[in-house]
Structure 1
Amino acid sequence: MQVNGVEAVLIAGPTASGKSALALEFAQRAGGVVINADSMQVYRDLRVLSARPTPAEEAAVPHRLYGHVDAAINFSAGAFVADAQTALAEARAQGRLAVFVGGTGLYFKALTSGLSAVPPIPPSIRDGVRARLERDGVEALHRELSAIDPATAVRLRPRDRARIARALEVVEATGRSLTDWHREGLPPLLPAGSSRALFLAPEREPLYARIDARFDAMLKTGALEEVERLAARGLDPLLPAMKAHGVPALIRHLAGEISLEEATAIGKADTRHYAKRQFTWFRHQLADFEWVSPEAARGWLDRAL
């Protein structure tokens, strides 16, 4: 289905900006399907802490790619593109407008600009790199990366555990640097002109207040119990689900290392910092998105319909 000549609407924004409610309203009015573009809301283990839509909201209109991945999976942007392609094809077949919503900039960039064609990494290589990371430390692995892939190493912070490990895995698995792979991309799912894109941009201080209030609400509705169940699985701490905002600090609280008040403060601060990075990332990486205030968002919807 196309609305005003486009087959998809993209609604992005920082965490706690109200984008999910906006996407739900738009999908209800346009006869659309809501497709998740948030890297944490894919995990079934993180309904509360990722602020996934409620069961009632999911029942109001079709929702896709929510809670369909186990926390033990290192879900990548490439995996998202494959799943999004299936969801988009399903929307087309049903004559529904695809409404992508989320806060993960790389997912939106993959949809509109394509993605590097890095092949899957064998588990044996991934396990070996992570074992060295735990044994030798991140600085040692950064020095190792600098020797074999200096172009990638110079772009990474020396203590960025996840990205350094990923870059080493790619070199070891393929014999080519991550920078080389990024030069050869897969085509976008949504070519230019096939979609309209909005970035919901609230004022910073009210947004930060909503982030803090939402974290408190999460704790009252089962976030600590959710993290306790996740921690009991003994998963690799480098997995994306184990690094979701609030998870590491609440695990430290459950282990008796810090108080719940300290864990809450850390979780709130991490989330506020993430929101700040989201503003910066979208401004520089996805300049085609229209920046719209929450007050003007419904007018934007009216024009899009």
Structure 2
Amino acid sequence: MSKKIPIVCLVGPTGAGKTAASFNLCRTFNGGVINLDSRQVYRDFPIITAQPTAEEQQVCPHKLYGFLKTEDKIDVGKFMDMATDAIHTTREEGLLPMLVGGTGFYLKALLEGLAQIPRIDQSYTDDTEAEMAERGSAPMHEDLIKIDPDYAAKIHFNDSQRICRALAVYRATGKTFTWWHAQPMTPTPFRGVRLGIDVTLDELTPLLGKRIDLMLEAGAIEEAREALKHNDDPESFGWSGIGCAELYQYITGSMSLEDCKKLWLKNTRAYAKRQLTWFRKDKEIIWVKPKDFERMNQEVARFLAE
């Protein structure tokens, strides 16, 4: 059996300080950053989704940021294919691959493999998405609770993409996501050290409010208005992200800026809470304080020496 490829995974909730930590690791270990966040793939929303700036991307190579159109969707299978290519390319460049982001399911798939769900007929997906457009995500989430309460509890009732996927798979196969995920996974070619930025929700909340203010100062409203010129469909996948959805309501006149900011903060905090809950369940994660770069370096050095 060939030796597994070492990768460093730096995870944690939104706004926790992953970017600064990643720069430290890249400088110390000659690394290249690969996106591990499902929202930072969208081309039209670099500010709102907190993608690394052009200046930050000069620190070290960055891959898989800001390439997807607003109307396009990405799922874990597509991400796995692109991340695998990016990891190999990063190694060919003589760099250590560093996966940085807050999408826990992507981390799990990379290091533990994917459930071997068979390819389902496109008609099931199309029918489910049409039903979602007609009924909305909350009622469809209620349907999922009745069918697969364990998986439904892991996703937000506004996460239309995952709700549709779970319902379509169930309708096509007669088996729930929870059942499929309990089956043997596809093997993964990677081994990784998992570092988690250790912050509490109470510590994070005031930082999230300041972060939104900084995004607005950096041009988030103008960014949303420009994105609207390319795509004015609020049901598009890019617009569904936190910050994007709230700003859409503001720039189209259905919400005041004050209410937009309040809802944006509320939804960001709720998302950070879900991220923390997900990551805290992962017993493989080594928790480090945001600025404890020395500890991060020690853990990565230990991992690479194994």
- TM-score bracket relative to the smaller structure: 0.7 to 0.9
Secondary structure, counterpart of 2:100 in structure 1: strand
**Secondary structure of 1:185's match?**
coil
The answer as to whether partners of 1:38 and 1:102 remain within 8 angstroms in 2 is yes
Q: Cα deviations across residues 253-300 of structure 1 (Å, max 9, x unaligned)?
A: 12222110110111111111111111111011x210101112423332
Trace 1:38-53 onto structure 2 (pairs within 5 A): 38-53=37-52
Residue type of the partner of 1:279? Answer: L
What corresponds to 1:210 in structure 2?
207
**Aligned letter for 1:301?**
N
The residue that corresponds to 1:195 in the other structure is 192
Q: Please, which moves more after superposition, 228-237 or 243-252?
A: 228-237
TM-superposed CA distance for 1:74, in Å, is 1.3
Say if 1:136 and 1:269 are closer, same or farther in 2 by CA, change over 3 A.
Answer: closer
Residue pair 2:234, 2:240 contacting (<8 A) in 1 also: no
Q: Any idea what the Cα deviations from partners look like across 1:104-150, whole Å, max 9, x if unmatched?
A: 1111111111112335566554333222233345576467667xxx6
Correspondence 1:229 to 2:230: no
> In structure 1, what is the Cα distance between the partners aligned to 2:135 and 2:25?
50
Q: SS in structure 2 opposite 1:95?
A: coil
Give the drift of 1:166. Answer: 1.9
Q: How far 1:211 moved relative to its partner?
A: 1.0
Residues 231 and 201 from structure 1, CA distance in 2 versus in 1: closer, same or farther, beyond 3 angstroms?
Answer: same
Tell me by how many angstroms 1:80 deviates.
Answer: 1.0
Instruction: Specify the alignment match of 1:166 in structure 2.
Output: 165
The answer for the alignment partner of 1:152 in structure 2 is 148
Q: Distance in 1 between matches of 2:111 and 2:156?
A: 30
Cα distance change on mapping 1:88 and 1:260 into 2, 3 Å: same
Q: 1:238 to 1:155 in 2, by over 3 A?
A: farther
Contact 1:153-1:164 within 8 A present in 2 as well: no
Distance in 1 (CA, whole Å) between partners of 2:143 and 2:12 is 36
Give the Cα–Cα distance (whole angstroms) in 2 for the partners of residues 299 and 92 of structure 1.
Answer: 24
Alignment of 1:74-89 (within 5 A): 74-89=73-88
Residue 65 of structure 2 is matched in structure 1 by 66
Supply the distance in 2 between the matched residues of 1:248 and 1:33 (Cα, whole angstroms).
31
Give 2:304's aligned residue.
Answer: none
Q: Does 1:57 align with 2:63?
A: no
Structure 1: distance between partners of 2:142 and 2:207: 40
Once residues 207 and 172 of structure 1 are traced to their aligned partners in structure 2, the CA distance between those partners, rounded to angstroms, is: 40
> How far has the Cα of 1:203 moved from its partner?
4.0
Report the TM-score when normalising by structure 2: 0.85
Letter in 2 for 1:277: R
Q: Structure 1 stretches of 5 or more lacking a match?
A: none
Residue equivalent to 1:25 = 24
Give the whole-Å Cα distance in 2 for the aligned partners of 1:137 and 1:204: 29
> Residues 115 and 186 of structure 1 are in contact (CA less than 8 Å); yes or no, is this contact kept in structure 2?
yes
Deviates more, 1:40-49 or 1:173-182: 173-182
| Residue 175 (structure 1) shift | 5.7
Contact 2:7-2:192 at 8 Å conserved across structures:
yes
3-state SS of 2:37 partner: coil
Q: Secondary structure at the match of 2:47?
A: coil
Amino acid of the structure 2 residue aligned with 1:273: A
Please tell me the root mean square deviation across aligned C-alpha atoms, in Å: 2.7
**Bigger shift: 196-205 or 150-159?**
150-159
Residue in 2 aligned with 1:268?
265
Is 2:117–2:180's contact at 8 Å kept on the other side of the alignment? yes
Q: 1:184: Cα distance to partner?
A: 4.6
Length-normalised TM-score, structure 1 = 0.85
